[in-house]
Structure 1
């Protein structure tokens, strides 16, 4: 059931699954008091921790931060009790992404770095790759150019090593398209914080991720399209940015997620920077309407 709810989250946003997650937890949590022991108890703890982790992520996607932190905290307690360090590392990744979304790059970096030794101890190179990739993203937001590029290279190396690894359900989202996508995000942030030259490398990375992205990952596609449009604006190509931005809004429309609206803000900032250009002004106006309508929804 958690797997089915996770698929709904990836395709339609946290609003499509959060209530069901909370309802399922109301049934699942009492099972921990059923007197199970040993292997059965550990499997139960992992299953319920995984569900709390998803409930936290869906809550975050809707902007419900108090609920997100509460579910992540419960997930962490259960993951530790079960001894599942790969899941524990994944929860640190997700808590870091909350900080990253709200521009708390240093806090995000601390979460990712706290999770790294736990991921390494778990033996999951995929978990290590996820944390290194997101560490690079946080560093890029901070303008730490060399460190960001170095950590992303480490993420690529670990991902290559993880090819034959059987990913646990909470980490299966992290495929090649996602890795390439984060590379595009790293270069997008560097284009904005360090040097516009990084827009030239961000564009092919994001284009590749968009081409490889599955039909069941609409939210991720909306993020990638918005970032691609940002890079076209950084390169002073507002006509192309307008075209891609329209695609991003079209993909985002049916998704029940506050993050899709929030991730349009950098795009609007860049469009406003080119105020006076017809295409940039058109994009800014369209984004304003879209963000207001999504906020009302």
Structure 2
């Protein structure tokens, strides 16, 4: 690294920094908080260090990746390290973190290695430093291979020396043990809905690693497929929990690996569900075009096998993508398709991973589609008025639900944002405060971030309203901090 006299000011980083509205001290605090969250306890940044970065100093990992994640979340789009004028120690090729071999043995090896690194480096280092978010063709094109038929030669691992229809050396796993593994994944999902992604993520990753160990033993094909299904389920949940606490590259990698495992399990509906989670992440990162591509891929791949509930969920997410693209008519059509398809739902026949998608969740998705249309249309009061009654139904549906507490908090914030669009700051403050009460019971950075953003908007637009001022005071005291470990 050259001396100070050799450096030129980093105009790219300075541009992003100025537009963010952060002070040097605030950026330093956020970097330190994110580093603690990811286990990089050696990172200790202050305002003078931030000043040196702006003056052209190249920070070492994990700082470039942390800055990339922070600015991506601030602006709602992927901000690569290179766009910040920084160098990363690891420069993956386009799609390098998601363009993986579609074969059973490699899938097991990759999941085993990644989950082990997550468990170890989550305590001692920084897993995300070697990851980059993929978007656009670098993400979509590898995912399209999910639809390409493959030989079942990857099942089981290693291949038994017998016929594929259940022959070969018997598995040492009993039916009772297999059922226990499957029910464990369901239990973890319930905990995630109730407590958020920050509380049990490591337990899920640990269980995932154990299942990949089992997959490296000899099994008949039916047993191997069930193990792959459990692996896909757990990897998808690890990805979702990582997304919930703000670990975006880690979340994407787990979801990609989960899709590979679902393919090996031959479970198209589960694969469609995993693609829907990837789509949600792209909507969060302001990549609605990518989100729509992923949803259409999910719909096409599961068109003959997904339940009505799963199809309704996919239509609802399709509407969210169209809303964020400003395509009003297509959004309305997708909302109607979601509502019509949901009338055919048979919850008793649904797989456990779609059990979250009840009537309240349907209302929530459609209300957020209308709310997003309002933002895209320049804070349109007409679309806000469409969102309001549907969001109220969602909040009412979750109000007595002791399991889906995170969803309750998210929809309280959603209702608050609708009130802001309707220029009703007192009501917005009321529902944001309710969300803060629930957030204290839920370890979800996604919930906390939405509360902060809604409060910031309220203060910006209605800072002289007493209820908003009280909300801002409470926010500074009570909003839960990001967990230091994941």
TM-score computed with the length of structure 2 as normaliser: 0.58
Residue 58 of structure 1: aligned partner: 241
Asked if residue 234 in structure 1 is aligned to residue 425 in structure 2, the reply is no
In 2 relative to 1, CA 269–135 (structure 1 residues): closer, same or farther, beyond 3 Å? farther
Residue 7 of structure 1: aligned partner: 190
Residue 270 of structure 1: aligned partner: 457
Question: Partners of 1:200 and 1:253 in 2: how far apart?
Answer: 30
Asked if residue 221 in structure 1 is aligned to residue 428 in structure 2, the reply is no
* Cα deviation code 1:235-258 (max 9, x no counterpart): 111111111111011111221111
Say which one has the larger Rg.
2
In 2 relative to 1, CA 43–295 (structure 1 residues): closer, same or farther, beyond 3 Å? closer
Q: Could you tell which deviates more after superposition, 163-172 or 245-254?
A: 163-172
The CA deviation at 1:31 is: 1.1
The CA deviation at 1:164 is: 6.0
Asked if residue 22 in structure 1 is aligned to residue 202 in structure 2, the reply is no
- Contact in 2 for aligned 1:100/1:138 (Cα 8 Å): yes
Residue 266 of structure 2: aligned partner: 83
The CA deviation at 1:114 is: 1.5
Give the one of 108, 118, 123 matched to 2:301: 118
* Cα deviation code 1:125-162 (max 9, x no counterpart): 22221111011112212222221111111111111122
SS of the equivalent of 1:162 reads coil
Quote the RMSD (CA, aligned, Å).
1.9
The CA deviation at 1:280 is: 3.3
Give the one of 285, 288, 302 matched to 1:102: 285
Question: Partners of 1:22 and 1:295 in 2: how far apart?
Answer: 19
Question: Partners of 2:278 and 2:293 in 1: how far apart?
Answer: 10
Question: Partners of 1:266 and 1:138 in 2: how far apart?
Answer: 21
SS of the equivalent of 1:197 reads helix
Asked if residue 205 in structure 1 is aligned to residue 205 in structure 2, the reply is no
The CA deviation at 1:290 is: 5.1
Residue 355 of structure 2: aligned partner: 172
The CA deviation at 1:274 is: 2.8
* Cα deviation code 1:85-144 (max 9, x no counterpart): 000000100011111122222221221122111121324222221111011112212222
Asked if residue 45 in structure 1 is aligned to residue 241 in structure 2, the reply is no
- Contact in 2 for aligned 1:145/1:190 (Cα 8 Å): yes
Question: Partners of 1:241 and 1:46 in 2: how far apart?
Answer: 43
Question: Partners of 1:46 and 1:234 in 2: how far apart?
Answer: 43
Residue 250 of structure 2: aligned partner: 67
* Cα deviation code 1:19-78 (max 9, x no counterpart): 101111121111112111221111111111111111111111111223212221221111
Give the one of 310, 315, 327 matched to 1:132: 315
* Cα deviation code 1:185-229 (max 9, x no counterpart): 112112222221222222221111121111111110111000101
The CA deviation at 1:165 is: 6.2
Q: Could you tell which deviates more after superposition, 219-228 or 97-106?
A: 97-106
Residue 279 of structure 1: aligned partner: 467
* Cα deviation code 1:163-189 (max 9, x no counterpart): 366111111111111001111111211
SS of the equivalent of 2:322 reads helix
The CA deviation at 1:266 is: 4.4
Question: Partners of 1:145 and 1:287 in 2: how far apart?
Answer: 35
Instruction: Count matched residues.
Output: 296
Q: Could you tell which deviates more after superposition, 208-217 or 278-287?
A: 278-287
The CA deviation at 1:288 is: 5.3
- Contact in 1 for aligned 2:279/2:294 (Cα 8 Å): yes
Higher helix residue share: 1
- Contact in 1 for aligned 2:238/2:254 (Cα 8 Å): yes
- Contact in 1 for aligned 2:309/2:347 (Cα 8 Å): no
Question: Partners of 1:81 and 1:163 in 2: how far apart?
Answer: 26
- Contact in 2 for aligned 1:126/1:167 (Cα 8 Å): yes
Question: Partners of 2:453 and 2:376 in 1: how far apart?
Answer: 12
Question: Partners of 1:132 and 1:255 in 2: how far apart?
Answer: 28
SS of the equivalent of 1:161 reads coil
TM-score computed with the length of structure 1 as normaliser: 0.93
